[in-house]
Amino acid sequence: MNAGIHRPTIIQVDAQAIRQNIQQERLRMQSGTDLFAVIKANGYGHGLLHVARYALEAGATGFCVAILDEALALREAGFTQPILILGIVAPQYAPLLADQHISVAVGSQQWLEKADEFLQDGQKVRVHLALDTGMGRIGLQEPAELERVEAFLIQHKLQFEFEGIFTHFATADELDQTYFQTQVNRFKAFMAVLKQKPRYVHVANSATSLWHKACGGNMIRFGIALYGMNPSGRVLSAPYPLSPALTLESALVFVKELKKGRSVGYGATYTAENDEWIGTVPIGYADGYPRRLQGFHVLVDGNYCEIVGRICMDQLMIRLPQSYPVGTKVVLVGKSGQNAITMVDVAEAAQTISYEIACGFSSRIPRNYLHDQKA
């Protein structure tokens, strides 16, 4: 999708906010703990390569991504730090993983056996064994299975480096810790059968790193909190202030007085009860601003302005408190005057989570980077 550089809609990403969030977390980390910045999904919509650079500047020691192509993009851009792919990669790409020194999550012995068929002499893949302690996504399910896989890795140490082992907690961002503790106990049962721990033992995503000290891991997968968003929404308070890195802004491109009884948008779902000023903003669901946000609000000149009528593919309409000139700034995420709209506000109005909103902003919205030391 082509970036819309000739319209006023833009995402501002504050590099210093990203650095600050990482630095705050590093102050709480135990000695000898690594922090891998989770920059999958284009850095949660903030920009893969930019966020990678800011993370390193703040002290991150490696990266986590979701798919092989994201890892390759980092290598092609010159990043030499450790990279872990958290998702399953097809076994036939094992030689590419080996050649590019990219680590990969492995959830079964079958994957290792198949990957071994593709490896040539001298090629070795770094693997992190995934343990399914209750997330139900990928991973070994029983300690006995882990014993067999570890034995396989020992037997095939020329082809595979057992670099890490990990699990993922499903409820680390919730008040009730019952299921979290169940996963902790299962993880400990897994670890009890290991003959030798690998270099990296990691259980902590953002939520776990913020609110739990469990399992004795030595690496943190720092994701949503890196971008200044609370992984629990409003349920739990972070132990330090998180600095939101992303703001979304646009401007009025059309302003008119709508007479009483006239309607706005597809389906004529909004009808003016009085004479009103209506502004049009050039952003819509094709940009990742959800259609279901009709009735939510944006900020103009510090005023909350309701979104009226259905959000269109490329435009939305708002009710203004007065006439404003074309070109007046519209804030969809961020601050204006004394008021603010957070990503959590948007997510709650859209009945989802901030992760989905941030990742959903399309490439049609240009990203501008503030406090970039290389800009």
Q: How far apart are CA 123 and CA 99, in angstroms?
A: 7
Q: Catalytic: 213?
A: no
118 to each of 114, 157, 309, how far by Cα in Å? 7, 15, 56
Q: How far apart are CA 163 and CA 185, in angstroms?
A: 23
The values of phi and psi at residue 74, to 5°, are -65, -45
Ramachandran bin of 250, using left for φ above 0, alpha for ψ from -120 to 50, beta for the remaining angles: beta
The values of phi and psi at residue 343, to 5°, are -65, -30
* 8 Å CB contact between 254 and 326: yes
Catalytic residue among 213, 259, 260, 266: 266
The tokens describing 355, both together, are 């992760």
Q: Catalytic: 289?
A: no
DSSP state of 119: P
Catalytic residue among 40, 44, 93, 289: 40
In DSSP notation, 226-251 reads: GGT--TTTTSS--SS-----EEEEEE
Q: What are the residues whose beta carbons fall under 8 Å from the beta carbon of 19, sequence distance 6 or more?
A: 54, 57, 58
Q: What are the residues whose beta carbons fall under 8 Å from the beta carbon of 233, sequence distance 6 or more?
A: 173, 344, 347, 348, 353, 354
Q: Which helix H or strand E contains 271, and what residues bound it?
A: strand 270-271
* 8 Å CB contact between 273 and 313: no
* 8 Å CB contact between 164 and 219: yes
221 among the known binding-site residues? Answer: no
Count Cβ atoms within 10 A of the Cβ of residue 243 and give its class: 0-12 exposed, 13-18 middle, 19 or more buried.
middle
Count Cβ atoms within 10 A of the Cβ of residue 171 and give its class: 0-12 exposed, 13-18 middle, 19 or more buried.
middle
137 among the known binding-site residues? Answer: yes
* 8 Å CB contact between 221 and 205: yes
Binding residues: 137, 313
Binding residues for substrate: 137, 313
**Active-site residue set:** 40, 266
